[in-house]
Structure 1
Amino acid sequence: MILQIANDYSGSTVYKSLAQALDEKGLTQVIYTSIREKSLIGKNKIDFKDPNSKIIYSPILNSHTDRIFYKQKIKKILKDVDSKIDVQTISCIHAHTWYSDGGVAYELSKKYNIPYIIAIRNTDLNLFWKLPHLKKYGLEILKNASRVILISKTYKDRVLRDSKIKPLIHSKYSFIPNGIDDFWIQNREERKESIPNIPKLLFIGKFSPGKNVMRLIQAVESLKKQGIPCELNLIGGGGKAETKILEFIKNKKNITFHGKIFDKERLKEFYIRSDIYTMPSKAETFGLVYIEALSQGIPVVFTKNEGIDGLYKRNIGEAVDYNSVESIANGIRRIIINYNNYNFSPKEIIKNHEWKEIAIEYIQIYKAITI
């Protein structure tokens, strides 16, 4: 039985998609997720085919103290896991982050001698690894992991350049990008080859500061002043920046807010009507939505050294400096001017992002480290 530890299980469909694909392959798994709010219980639930698989939502986290006292949080989760799971039945632990999940996996491994794998994500590199008092512990987690999963090429390059990390993982890392929902695989479109006089831009996501929506809007306004009018459709919302963003765009006829849309058929309609997908996030482990956009045949504006940057040699779009409105505007303008040059193949791209194939890779890793 595999124990998956995913602190953000309720906040992302990535973990659900992988768990479903593993379930389809007959793998028994327990997913443990510690949460801050009881309202998250049942989110991203799965009707497992395997009757012994389950998800444990544990509302034990404190929004304030657990963000500050990392070691205390790990001890709390460790105690909770011990009380709710018969750890002796676990053959392998899959921690979905280096620090928040990996710390728990490391402690369980020390106590029960169970092998574990970890993935390195955005907050691991851009937050925890930068904290001096957690570096030594972070290196212990890496040192004792049986395998380290690197999800994006940019993060792979970053960790393999780090003189402290590289010696610990260079012989035991696997590069496994995320998959996308089967809906996009089964309903891909051909690459769009022409662009209208007034291009339609699309953003889908949360209005959090990290998604950088305000700079995207300012870039669209900058292009308008340069004589390059664009329409921008915003889907999503919520987050700390929502009020500011909605106030800023309320009188702008070229920018439309559509709210949250979860229906994939409706989202597909927006992709088909759009010419460029634009999300210059401050940091992004991977960014599934970029691949969704590419599957629908439209080029993307993404952030340099984050997410999908460097993943494909084909010209899929433009990498920009998230901190520069001018860079974002220039990226959009380059795509508009050279639209036919973005000669990627949606069919070839989605081949690398099928969860059923990714599940096979993980199962092979689980087997390899438990022999």
Structure 2
Amino acid sequence: MMLHLTNDYAGSQVYKNLICELDKYGVQQTIYSPIRNVESIDKNKVKLSTEGSKIIYSHILNTHTDRAFYKRKVKKILTDVEAKIDFQSIECVHAHTWYSDGGVAYELYKKYNIPYIIAIRNTDLNLFWKLPHLKKYGLDILKNASRIILISKIYENRILLDQKINPIITSKYNVIPNGIDDYWVRNRECNKQKVSDTPQLLFIGKFSRVKNVTTLIHAVEYLEQNGIICELNLVGGGGKQEVKVLDYIKNKRNITYHGKIMDKDRLKEFYRNADIFTMPSKSETFGLVYLEALSQGIPVVFTKNEGIDGLYSNKIGEAVDCNSAQNIAEGIKKIILNYDEYSFDYNTITLNHDWKEIALEYLDIYTTLKNEK
């Protein structure tokens, strides 16, 4: 039995897609997800066909204090997971983050000697690892992990430059990027050949500080001031900046807000009508929307040293400084003026992120750990 520990199962399709593909390969899984809000119960719930597999949502986390007191949060989850799961049957633990899930996996390892793997994500590197009082504990989690998964090439580069982390993980890490929903694999589209007379920009995401939509809007204004008129289509919303953003753009003729769109057929049309996908996030583990855009044949504007930066050597778009509206504008302008140079292999890129193949990589790791136990 494989135990998945994932604080964010309800909040992301990534975990659901991986678990569903593993289920098709007959992997017996228990997915344990501690949650903060009762509304998250049953989100991303799927029916697993492998006998004995199940998803456990546990409403035990506090929205405020558990974020502030990390060690207390780990202890709370540990107590709860021990009460709900029979560890006699658990052969391996997959912690889907280094700190929030990995801390629990590490404590279970000390108590039950169950091998575990961890994934390193955005908040691990950009938040937890920067806290001095959690560095030693973070290193202990890494030292005792059997395998470490890095989600992107740029995170591999950043981590290997860290002299404290490098010697611990060098011999036991894999770079396994996230996959994309099978819909985008089946509906991939060839590269767009030329930019529209009025370049069409697309943003899909939450209106939050991290997703950085306000700086993107200022970049579009900078382009207009310098004689390049673009139309920016915003899809998504929510987040703490929604009111501010909607109020700011209400009189902007070249910026249109389309609301939240969940229907993939409609999203596909937005991608295909766009010339450039633009999301200069302040931090990003991976960013599935970039891959969705690439699957539809359009180049992307993304942030240097985050997400998909460095994943592909061919020209998929431009990496920009997320804190500079001018630099973002320059990245957009460069793509507009040299559009035919961004001729990437959309077919290969899309197939590289097929969850069926990614699940096989994880299955190989699980099998190795079970055999070594």
The interval holding the TM-score normalised by the smaller chain is over 0.9
Matched, 1:107 2:89: no
| Counterpart for residue 354 of structure 1 | 354
Paired residue secondary structure (2:210): helix
Separation in 2 of the partners of 1:112 and 1:33?
20
Q: Aligned partners of 2:69 and 2:225: how far apart in 1? A: 48
Alignment partner of 1:19 is 2:27:
no
CA distance in 2, matches of 1:267, 1:49: 30
Equivalent residue for 1:5? 5
Alignment of 1:1-371 (within 5 A): 1-371=1-371
User: What one-letter code is carried by the residue in structure 2 that aligns with 1:261?
Assistant: I
Following the alignment from structure 1 to structure 2, what is the Cα–Cα distance between the partners of residues 84 and 262?
A: 34
For residue 318 of structure 1, give the secondary structure of its aligned residue in structure 2: strand
Q: Write the distance in 2 (CA, Å) between the matches of 1:225 and 1:293.
A: 27
* Helix, strand or coil at the partner of 1:357: helix
**Distance in 1 between residues matched to 2:206 and 2:155, nearest whole Å:** 22
Measure, in 2, the Cα distance between the counterparts of 1:196 and 1:294.
17
Same amino acid, percent of matched pairs: 67
In the alignment, the residues of structure 1 paired with residue 261 and residue 279 of structure 2 have an alpha-carbon distance, to the nearest angstrom, of: 17
For 2:227, the aligned partner's letter is G
Q: What code does the residue aligned with 2:260 have?
A: K
Deviation at 1:225, TM superposition (A): 1.1
SS across alignment from 1:15: helix
Provide the C-alpha distance between the structure 1 equivalents of 2:279 and 2:47, rounded to a whole number of angstroms: 33
* Aligned counterparts of 1:96 and 1:261: Cα–Cα separation in 2: 27
Distance in 2 between residues matched to 1:259 and 1:43, nearest whole Å? 21
d(CA) in 1 for partners of 2:350, 2:335: 21
Letter in 1 for 2:249: I
| TM-superposition CA deviations, 1:20-73 (whole Å, max 9, x none) | 110111111011111100110000011111131111111100111111110000
Determine the C-alpha separation between the residues in 2 that align with 1:196 and 1:232: 13
Structure 1's unaligned 5+ residue stretches are: none
CA distance in 2, matches of 1:201, 1:28: 44
**1: CA distance, partners of 2:266 / 2:337:** 28
Residue identity in the other structure for 2:27: L
> Which amino acid is the alignment partner of residue 221 of structure 1?
E
Q: Distance in 2 between matches of 1:318 and 1:113?
A: 46
Q: Which amino acid aligns with 2:121?
A: R
Q: Distance in 1 between matches of 2:84 and 2:11?
A: 22
Per-residue deviation, residues 334-365 of structure 1 (Å, max 9, x unmatched): 00000000010110111210000000000100
* Number of aligned residues: 371
For 2:209, the aligned partner's letter is P
How far off its partner does 1:145 sit? Answer: 0.1
Q: Tell me the alpha carbon deviations over residues 196-238 of structure 1, each in whole angstroms, 9 at most, x when there is no partner.
A: 1201100111111100000001101111111100011101000
Q: Read off the aligned partner of 1:10 and give its amino acid letter.
A: A
Amino acid at match of 2:345: S
2-structure distance, mates of 1:54, 1:247: 44
Separation in structure 1 between the aligned mates of residue 207 and residue 20 of structure 2, nearest angstrom:
28
Instruction: Read off the aligned partner of 1:296 and give its amino acid letter.
Output: Q
Distance (whole Å) between structure 2 residues aligned to residue 347 and residue 59 of structure 1: 41
Letter in 2 for 1:22: L
State the alpha-carbon separation in 1 of the partners of residues 47 and 6 from structure 2.
18
CA separation in 2, counterparts of 1:158 and 1:350? 25
Match of 1:86, SS? coil
